[in-house]
Amino acid sequence: MSKTVLELRNITKIFPGVKALDNVDFVVKEGEIHALMGENGAGKSTLIKIITGVHKQNEGKMFVNGKEVSFNSPRDAFNAGINVVHQERNLFPTFTVAGNIMIEHYTDKMIKKINQREINRAAEKYIEMVGLNVPPDKSVESLSAGQQQLIEIAKALSSNAKIILLDEPTSSISVNEAEMLLNLIKKLRDQGISFIFVSHKIEEVLGLADTVTVLRDGKNVRSADGEISSPIKDMTREELITRMVGRTKEFQSLEMRDFDKSDVVLEAKELRSVDSPKPKSFKLRKGELLGWYGLVGAGRTEFARAIIGYDPILGGELYINGQKVKEKGIDRIQNKHKIYYLSENRKEEGLFLDHNIKSNITSSVLKKMRGFLFFLSPKKEQETAEMFRKELQIKTPSLKQYVRNLSGGNQQKVALSKGLAVDPDILIIDEPTVGIDVKTKAEIHRIMYDITEKGKSVICITSDMPELVQIADRIIVFRDGRIAGELINDKDYDHMSKEIMNLIMA
Amino acid sequence: MKNTQKPAAVEKKKFTFNNTMGILLVIIVFSLLIWTRSKEFISVDNFITVMRNCSVTILVGFGQMVVMAGGGLNVSIGSIGGLAAVIVGAMIQRVGLPWELAIVIALLIGACCGAFNGILITSLGSTSEISWLVTLASMSIFAGITLTITKANPFYNLPKGYTWIGTYNIFGFLPFMIIVTLVVAVLLWYMFKYMSLGQQILAIGANQRAAALSGINVQRVIIIKHILSAVIAACAGILFSTRLGSIHSDIGGDWMLFSFAAPLIGGSRMEGGRVNIVGAFLGGLLLAMVSNAVVHLKVNVYIVEFLEGVIILLAVGLDRIRGLREEHRERMERARI
């Protein structure tokens, strides 16, 4: 029996309004590949952030090699031998390969002579360990994404990391590189290094990992005999999916509707753009609430941005109300075809936090707010803003309130008002309820439903599966930048969630 | 087709304007061009003049480069240079100290100015924007101190030993001033290449978050780089005054533009993470030659500033265009996967 290198006991983490982790246990043994799995929002990222010192748990204890530890910064975790390789690269682009791998060796003192030749020689050992074939004095900028990732692992090895956390390591690299990486991970495991492996690719997990811990709704999903983790070898794909999805609490679904005979308002034919390069086709019907599901990074936002004209189109065709979209530029397409996109990132891309509610709502329709001599008419602004405050029930003492001071839910309502003010026929809403409490969430679902009842069409991009099954009429599942499949939503959660998971994990 | 295009792009990169060879070529072509118009441009006398001019320009560029390397900027370089020169004057004439000691004190006060900038920047958030804002304010503060000391009156009658620095020529043709600049250049080159501090500054410029995660004390390094920058600026101010024979309170007033131009022409990365010491040296030399050539061509002196602006736009513009093109190429390549 190999010894335990990392142990987390009864970890609870509370964010304002949400219990992200509830009494979670997590144990990693020496020399194993331990997969951490769960749906979006199951608490994986929070757990990772606690292990790597980004967040601190509210309750519970953490042990490394049997000693209790308390991390106040990512650096503390690093010093304890825990290294992370993130999805996005974390290198020094202007440095050489050796400079990146060996940087730890000259960060302790300021005045220390650096022997480039020695560093290059030392780095060669780690470059070889990760199976790369690049000269140590090559600039990392010129390497491929996969090679850069291997450099990060080499860097971790050079700093004597005992636990390496890999967050979706194969998501941004080519198939060959992914295969090399997985072989390398196995090789290093046999040398006694432990890996925490976070991946949504179920085949990869089944083929690579030794053990799996599953989280759901911020809690451990225990095996039949009450263990927190299970060996992968007696697991099937079906079992793993069932564990991840499970049964969720009761929830109210919106009414079922049928759109087979409605007009098509938007149609993409083999549409591809710079950031969404794989061709995709789909149809959106009048009055429909279409859900786009996929893992974070599956290319949903990128595709939406191609549709609204933010990202240059490389090929394919887009029709709105039967007319081919020829215009370029977000403003022209928005004006002519009455399509509006609401960003997932409302604080940075959706709202003017330091402006008041009124000017936020009217900011998208300033032309309509003009009165005498083209000056803005305070009266019109007031009326418009007041109308939306009533309609969407924005809770605020005054329309002069700064948006920064509103709760997340009310901020989202302001963002929605801003979109609705332009009176669009098609509304694309990206992650409408992230960070919003349950009650307001239901209100926002109702608002979206009401919009579609008025004959407008809505595309709702969401990573929240219960929400998706609850509100969508039809579901499109994205995987790796492609459309993996399309489902008519029968609003039966058990059935739908398995169908969706099958498409995601294929 | 795609395969044949790629190596061509790599080849081309070797001969861009930002490359050290490129600037050297520009300098040679430029000299020959001016020489066809004015034979005195290539002569011992003019060589001495250009060397004296550029020794200050290059130092000013180095001062900026050190800060830029770590991702930030320092617009107060000119005021620090001016303050240091005035301190020397005041120490010699009002306090009566020997000039050697006066220089040491002036350099120390320069270091204090840098520490002031660095500490304020790190305590306000260590971003590039903050460094701009803080040094913009301190530029005014330091210039105010200079004016308070001098009341806008120059210091004349400086000791012989002091003015010797700015007027002595080794073997009759190599100004001593340029030796000072060369020594600073060698020290900087050594620091960036062979000392952990230099690597730490560059690491912060390349990726500040990763630098912190790699155990670099980001705040301390930022403070130190500002001290270094300020000491180099003070050095430049003092050097400038040794040559003039008098110390005016407006020394450094026009340094801002070429403090940026010299390192950028030389191929240092504006966002930080990469420096080119030889490049900055040649960049400063080129700038000094341009101002000198204007005199020789007997064109309007006021055009110098215009030309410097054009040069910096060209250098930065070419760099940005290449950066944008590379970004675009990368995106398209990703699109192909």
- The SS3 of residue A487 is strand
pLDDT 10s digits, A147-159: 888 899 999 888 8
Contact B195 A78 (CB under 8 A): no
Distance CA A11, CA A56 (A): 10
Strands A211-216 and A264-273: unpaired
How many structural domains are present in chain A? 1
Residue B188's identity, in one-letter code, is: L
Asked whether residue A345 is domain-assigned, the answer is no
pLDDT confidence of A205, banded at 50, 70, 90? confident
Question: Across residues B32-60, what is the average pLDDT?
Answer: 91
CA distances from A297 to A87, A159, A171, A175 (A): 10, 30, 8, 17
Q: Which tokens in the block code for residue A372?
A: 């005498």
Residue ranges of domains in chain B, CATH in brackets: 49-322 (1.10.3470)
Q: Is A308 within a domain?
A: no
Check CB contact of B322 with chain A, cutoff 8 Å.
no
The two structure tokens encoding residue B187: 């020290």
Query: Do the strands A339-342 and A323-324 form a parallel or antiparallel pair, or are they unpaired?
Result: unpaired
**DSSP labels, A308-321:** TTSS-EEEEEEEET
Phi and psi angles of residue B7, each rounded to the nearest 5 degrees, phi first: -60, -30
Region B61-69: mean pLDDT is 96
CB distance B199–A94 less than 8 Å? Answer: no
B226 Cα to chain A: minimum distance (Å): 15
Spatial CA neighbour of B235 closest among B128, B114, B149, B95 = B114
pTM for the model stands at 0.78
Structure tokens of B65? 């480069």
- Complex confidence, ipTM: 0.80
- Residue B325 forms contact with A (CB below 8 Å): no
Is A329 near chain B, with CB under 8 Å? no
Q: Tell me the chain B residues in contact with residue A272 when contact means C-beta distances shorter than 8 Å.
A: 335
Block residue for tokens 């060698």: B186
Handedness of CA B261, B266, B272, B277 (dihedral sign): negative
Is the CB of B332 inside 8 Å of chain A's CB atoms?
yes
| B226-263 core/surface letters (b: 16 or more CB in 10 A; e: else) | bbbbbbbbbbbbbbbbbbeeebbbebbeebbbbbbbbb
Residue B112 exposed, middle or buried by CB count within 10 Å (0-12, 13-18, 19+): middle
Evaluate whether residue A462 is within a structural domain: no
Q: Output the CA–CA distances (angstroms, integers) from residue A412 to A19, A94, A254, in the order listed.
A: 21, 40, 20
Please state the length of chain B.
337
The answer to whether A95 contacts chain B (CB < 8 Å) is yes
Query: From the CA of B214, how many Å to the nearest CA of chain A?
Result: 6
Mean model confidence pLDDT for chain A: 87
pLDDT tens profile B253-264 = 989 988 998 998
- Cβ-based contacts of A104 with chain B (< 8 Å): 214-215
For the segment A278-299, what is each residue's pLDDT rounded down to a tens digit?
A: 899 999 999 999 999 988 778 8
pLDDT at residue A246 in the model: 66
pLDDT mean over A122-138: 90
> Residue A86 domain-assigned?
yes
Residue A443 reports pLDDT greater than 50: yes
Is any Cβ of chain A less than 8 angstroms from the Cβ of B9? Answer: no
CB contact under 8 A, B196 and A114: yes
Q: Whole-angstrom Cα distance, residue A503 to residue A478?
A: 8
Interface test with A, best of B10, B207, B271 (most A CBs within 10 A): B207
Q: Which domain holds residue A236?
A: 4-245
Distance between CA atoms of B146 and A391, rounded to whole angstroms? Answer: 63
SS3 call for A451: helix
Query: Are A92 and B215 within 8 A, CB to CB?
Result: no
* Euclidean distance between CA atoms A316 and A279, whole angstroms: 7
Amino acid at A184: L
- With 90 as the cut, is the pLDDT of residue A255 above it? no
DSSP string, B151-164: TTPPB----HHHHH
In a domain, A307, yes or no: no
Phi, psi of B49, deg, nearest 5: -60, -50
Q: Which residues of A are less than 8 Å from B220 in CB distance?
A: 110
Q: Between residues 206 and 235 of chain B, which touch chain A (CB distance below 8 Å)?
A: 206-207, 209-216, 220-221, 224
Domain with residue A61: its CATH number is 3.40.50.300
> Which residues in chain B are closer than 8 Å to A106, comparing Cβ atoms?
196, 199-200
Domain contains A309: no
Residue A152 lies in a domain: yes
Q: Helix %, strand %, coil % for chain A, to 5?
A: 40, 25, 35
Question: What pLDDT does residue B2 have?
Answer: 36
Other CB atoms within 10 A of residue A393 CB: 13
* Contact: A274, B335; criterion CB under 8 Å: yes
Q: What is the distance between the terminal CA atoms of chain A, rounded to a whole angstrom?
A: 34
pLDDT value for A17: 64
Q: Tokens representing A487?
A: 């489902």
Question: Is the separation of the CB atoms in B166 and B247 below 8 Å?
Answer: no
> Which tokens is A166 given?
């890999």
**Which residues face A113 on adjacent strands?**
B195
- Is the minimum CB–CB distance between A78 and chain B shorter than 8 Å? yes
**The pLDDT value given to residue B105:** 97
Handedness of CA B184, B187, B190, B192 (dihedral sign): negative
In a domain, A293, yes or no: no
Q: Tell me the CA distances in angstroms from B80 to B1, B123, B183, B251, one per residue in order.
A: 55, 21, 20, 9
> Is residue B42 classed as helix, strand or coil in its secondary structure?
coil
Q: Supply B46's token pair.
A: 């003019």
Residue A268, CB-side half-sphere exposure with 13 Å CA sphere: 21
Q: Is the pLDDT of residue B186 over 90?
A: yes
Percent of the residues in chain B that have a pLDDT greater than 90, as a whole number: 60
A238: burial class by Cβ within 10 Å (0-12, 13-18, 19+)? exposed
